[in-house]
Homo-oligomer: A and B are copies of this chain.
Amino acid sequence: MAGAGASGPRHTMADVARRAGVSTATVSRALTRPDQVSPKTRELVHEIAEELGFRPNLIGRQLRAQAANSLLILVQDLENPFYAELIKGAEYVARERQFSVVVGGTDGLEDVERLYAEQYLGRRVDGLILLTGHLPAGLSRKMAEQGPVVLVSEDNPELALCAVLVDNVGWAAQAVAHLHALGHRRIAHLCGPMARIISRERREGYRRALSQAGLPADPALEAPGDFSFETGRRATRALLALPDPPTAIFCANDESALGAIRAAQQVGLDVPRDLSVIGFDDTMLAEISDPPLTTIRQPRQQMGAVAAEMVIDMLENGPGQCARRILDCELVERSTVAAPAAKS
């Protein structure tokens, strides 16, 4: 019988109250606190409400409650598959706790950021989950620092905000150490866009691992990139044309790693026999890759879930202290890494 009568004009509590011969207060109670109402009226009210197809107006409820029960997740780029699973994790937790989630893609545009900031300042959403690594334009630092705002995946050390992160430096170093352990000595790094802190952190991890392995730091082996397939391919082509080319590449993300693999294959090299490649993120691309990509897996779903939990906790228990949660990654070994070929 769900959806019965759900046509025609929409009704308010006053309509239901009138038809039931009770007050709106009773209707409200019958619907939200059934135990505070006599079984008889309770049923009557439910019946009429059903008959009329009555739905409580959430805006009215929100105004009264002074809470929208909703979270805003801001991402740079909705098309990046990395974010989808993370959003899912957040949505799941939010749902469990009676919150809804609004997803906003800013494309890095200030005007758009400002619009979303307005939604927050205008209390249309209660809390903010930022995957952008920075405060949206229009939101002051002070305003954010004490509010229900959490940074995810991308840190910003200048901001004193709650955050859910992974140890990019550490896991990048692990990736490189993995290559070194197999015997690689010329290990290149395909960088991400340097404007983003995760790129700088992963490069830092690369450098640290080299130095711990006692390997020389060769600037020629640090190729600039921007996380894209095409740039990854071009950069790798250049790397392979070096007089003393690398035998392994640690890429700042999966998509650019696919570019690296392609570049190698196009000059007739076999991956992993002639070139080992390792990525970062473990997106869907890693499985589709040929051969399947060895990469560092981030616990995306969990990251989103924890972030939502943090924001909602702050909302319910007051700001509290800023927490910084560091979650664990995992090295997923597929088929793009092997010991280097013997020197010819």
Which A positions have Cβ atoms within 8 angstroms of B?
2-4, 6-7, 10, 53, 55-63, 68, 78-79, 81, 84-85, 87-88, 91, 95, 100, 102-103, 105, 107, 112, 115, 118-119, 121-124, 137-140, 142-143, 146, 229, 255, 258, 262, 265, 284-285, 287-288, 290
Contact = CB atoms under 8 A, between A and B. Distances in A.
B123 A57 contact: yes
Given A68-B59, A290-B265, A115 B100 contact: yes
B87 A105 contact: yes
A118 B7 CA distance: 14
A73 to B, nearest CB: 9
A145 to B, nearest CB: 9
A287 B123 contact: no
Contacts of A140: 3-4, 6-7, 53
A68 to B, nearest CB: 7
Given A58-B122, A58-B124, 5 more contacts: A4-B140, A10-B123, A58-B123, A255-B288, A285-B288
A78 B68 contact: no
A10 to B, nearest CB: 8
Nearest to A83: B78
A131 B112 CA distance: 24
Contacts of A229: 287-288
Q: Please name the 7 residue pairs, one residue from A and one from B, whose CB atoms are nearest each other, closest first.
A: A3-B140, A58-B122, A7-B142, A79-B84, A55-B121, A6-B140, A6-B143
Contacts of A138: 2-3
A311 B116 CA distance: 21
A152 B121 CA distance: 32
Contacts of A143: 3, 6-7, 53
27 contacts: A2-B137, A2-B138, A3-B138, A6-B140, A7-B140, A7-B146, A10-B121, A10-B123, A53-B140, A53-B143, A55-B118, A55-B121, A58-B123, A59-B122, A59-B123, A60-B63, A61-B122, A78-B87, A81-B81, A84-B105, A88-B105, A88-B107, A91-B105, A95-B115, A229-B287, A255-B288, A290-B290
